[in-house]
Amino acid sequence: MIRLKPLTDQVIVITGASSGIGRATSVMAAEAGAKVVVAARGRDGLETLVDEIKASGGNASACVTDVADAAAVERLAAFAIESYGTIDTWVNNAGVAIAGKLEDLSEDDARRVFDINFWGMVHGCKAALPHLRHDGGVLINIGSVTSDVSAPFMGLYSASKQAIKGYTDALRIELMMDHAPVAVTLIKPSPIATPILEHQRNRTDRQATMPPPFYEPGDVAKTILLAAVNPERDLYVGGTGMVGSLLGRAFPNLADATSAMLGREMFQTAKARDDRPDNFDAPSAKAGIAGSTHGHASHLSIYTALRTGPLRHVAAAGALGRMLLQGIRGR
């Protein structure tokens, strides 16, 4: 049985920490008493994050890291060990997005998405596992509901998140075969109100968006910290994403037809594309937690509140029941 430390005794490494989900998780983890090592490509965003955490009495250190560079990620792991002596939880969160039809995207675009989203996750796993194997701990990979159900105009992003799911599932089995004291969790968020829409590259002629509802970054942070102290196989963030994923897998033909019919309205607005430079190949310009949702309100997820709260086991049982029911109907 894998035994995990309470958050107050943990050292947590978080990539993609300068904005959005990573920043929210870093702040929340430090508030809970964890020592946090934050990593991203942008030094300015990391420094303001560390200052914010320390001003609130927390303990954090920053390491500028491009996760696409395997050697840089190895240096991140060494920095965490040098700073705090151990690694208890490693969160592979760094990611980028690009909007566009697959036929219109270049090979360079595709490689960059996979270099960060997929290979960055692989580099993180390889750097963290020797330490987690030795002392025990948790490896958390951030997927998406698109790990289960692909989205139009987000084909490359969907493919990278499905690759993350495949790698994570296989790695979990291999660690179980070795009886390694490492929990491996895949977290699949619904659309989250982070700066992702402002940072992504857009190859379409209209403003790119995602279908509402948008959930709060704090919902993902709570889910990550739940996984840091409770071994979980995979976790959804947001009830609509969870339900949509189950329905998409139970009725794939209907899901495809619905996406084909409504895809433009769900993933594009009526506004023309903003041609300002993006941050696809550079550190995030916006270092905040929240981001644009193109006029849609963001809100906390009731499902996630139940799933991460005292009634989480009841909520998990309900989700399992729904999954089994959909499987029976699919048959």
Average pLDDT over residues 2-16: 95
Give the 3-state secondary structure percentages of the chain, helix then strand then coil, rounded to 5.
50, 15, 30
pLDDT tens for 100-123 read: 999 999 999 999 999 999 999 999
pLDDT at 224 over 50: yes
- HSE of 215 in the Cβ direction (CA atoms, 13 Å)? 27
Nearest Cα residue to 309 out of 240, 230, 213: 230
pLDDT at 330 over 60: no
Share of the chain above pLDDT 70, in %: 89
Q: What are phi and psi of 63, to 5 degrees?
A: -140, 110
pLDDT tens for 163-192 read: 999 999 999 999 999 999 999 999 999 999
pLDDT at 282 over 70: no
157 as an active site residue: the answer is: yes
pLDDT score, position 298: 78
Integer Cα distance of 149 and 168 in angstroms = 17
Question: Which of 157, 215, 236, 303 is an active site residue?
Answer: 157
pLDDT score, position 331: 41
What CATH superfamily is the domain 7-268? NAD(P)-binding Rossmann-like Domain (3.40.50.720)
pLDDT score, position 84: 97
pLDDT tens for 118-162 read: 999 999 999 999 999 998 999 999 999 999 999 999 999 999 999
Domain edges within the chain: 7-268
Nearest Cα residue to 111 out of 159, 145, 66: 159
Instruction: Give me the sign of the Cα torsion angle 283, 122, 201, 191.
Output: negative
